[in-house]
């Protein structure tokens, strides 16, 4: 195996690790609206608008995090597919050069 193929395989392992990390993060993020429901009543000690603001802040963080994780997952899946295509091409070229 050449150095080029080894680099492609290392990058593929890194992409798979990143995809797994984003899948775990999306599972953890599903609790953010619940945190909003739990922490929003604390704002009623000061003002009703603060309670509503706390809840919507959690919802905004939740939506933003979901968007970022879905976009990064999409990007990593596309990059992984392209990496496999490139790795197959490098292997084909190496096979055609070897005697």
Mean pLDDT of the chain: 91
Tell the residue number behind the tokens 């195996």, with chain if given. Answer: 1
How many other CB atoms are found less than 10 A from the CB of residue 76?
A: 19
Token reading at 99: 């005697």
Per the CB < 8 A criterion, the answer to whether 83 and 16 are in contact is no
Model pTM score: 0.76
Distance CA 18, CA 66 (A): 15
Note whether 57 and 36 are within 8 A (CB). yes
Token readout for 71 is 């976009």
Residue 1 reports pLDDT greater than 70: no
pLDDT-derived band at 99, boundaries 50, 70, 90: low
């Amino acid at each position: 195996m050449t150095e080029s193929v080894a680099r492609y395989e290392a990058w593929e392992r890194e992409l798979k690790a990143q995809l797994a990390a984003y899948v775990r993060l999306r599972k953890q993020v599903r609790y953010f609206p619940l945190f909003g429901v739990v922490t929003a009543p604390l704002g009623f000690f000061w003002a009703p608008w603060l309670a509503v603001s706390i809840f919507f802040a959690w919802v905004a963080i939740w939506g933003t995090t979901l968007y970022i994780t879905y976009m990064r997952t999409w990007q990593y899946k596309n990059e992984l597919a392209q990496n496999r295509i490139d790795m197959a091409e490098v292997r084909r070229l190496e096979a055609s050069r070897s005697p």
